[in-house]
A = this chain, B = another copy of it.
Amino acid sequence: MASPLEKALQDPGSMKARILTSARRLFGDNGFSDTTTRMIAGDVGIDVSTLHYHWGEKQDLYEGVIGAVHEEIMERFQEVERRCRKADLGRRLEIAIDVMCDYLFANPEVANLILFGYFRKADHTAVLDVNITTYIANIAVAMGLAADQEAVSVQTKARILAVWHSVLNFISGQAFFRPMLDVAPETYAAVVKETLKFILVPAFTIDTAEALKTGSNNH
């Protein structure tokens, strides 16, 4: 569907791909407005106009980054779904937490990029909006919380959003929280996984039966 993106991914050494890589990291670090095209060009070691030549305007490059990240995330969800077969709900949650944490800790800019998207009031929100809705439906089905992607109750959606946020925030706020907890980087990752499982697993494993039954009436 995204032909320029495919072309860029074909050869990671191509100029277009190199720009995308730098843009991804810098946008993730500083957000859209605090990342200048000159910063990205400087990081790649090229001129600004070369950047514009390959990607058009800044907004297009940003959407290219979001698109690439989106594809990666969807791949991870498919991995979760594969590994979740024939496991109970508690185990499924643990698998999902492990897979997503491993991925996000290895690509910390991803969590930032997604969370930045919540704030931007720009026009591209529609794009990201669709993505998030897709994530939610995917998780619901993979977790066995909904029969198909169309029949996800409000409660289930809200609960998945809460889980998803919890994961993202711990990774996104890493630079902020790790010093606060005063632990080494590797320890931080372990603490995060443990905390997520501690908080999330009991709620779903204990209460799921009732939650699904009363899932369509809101208080």
The interface residues of chain B lying within 8 Å CB-to-CB of A198 are 155, 159, 203, 207, 211
The copy count of this chain in the complex is 2
Partner of A192, one of B31, B132, B158: B158
Interface string of A163-197 (1 = CB under 8 A from B): 10110011011001101111100010011101110
Question: Does A157 have its Cβ within 8 Å of any Cβ on chain B?
Answer: yes
Complexed CA–CA distance, A159 and B200 (Å) = 11
Partner of A165, one of B116, B155, B169: B169
Whether the pair B207, A155 counts as a contact (CB closer than 8 A) is no
Given contacts A33-B31, A180-B157, A196-B162, contact A218 B191 (CB under 8 A): yes
Question: Does A89 have its Cβ within 8 Å of any Cβ on chain B?
Answer: no
- Chain A residues proximal to chain B, CB less than 8 Å: 29-31, 33-34, 112, 115-116, 118-119, 121, 125, 129, 132-133, 136, 154-155, 157-159, 161-163, 165-166, 169-170, 172-173, 176-177, 179-183, 187, 190-192, 194-196, 198-203, 206-207, 211, 218-219
Contacts A29-B121, A136-B180 aside, 11 further interface pairs with beta carbons under 8 A come to: A33-B33, A116-B119, A132-B180, A133-B180, A157-B180, A158-B181, A159-B198, A161-B170, A165-B173, A187-B218, A203-B203
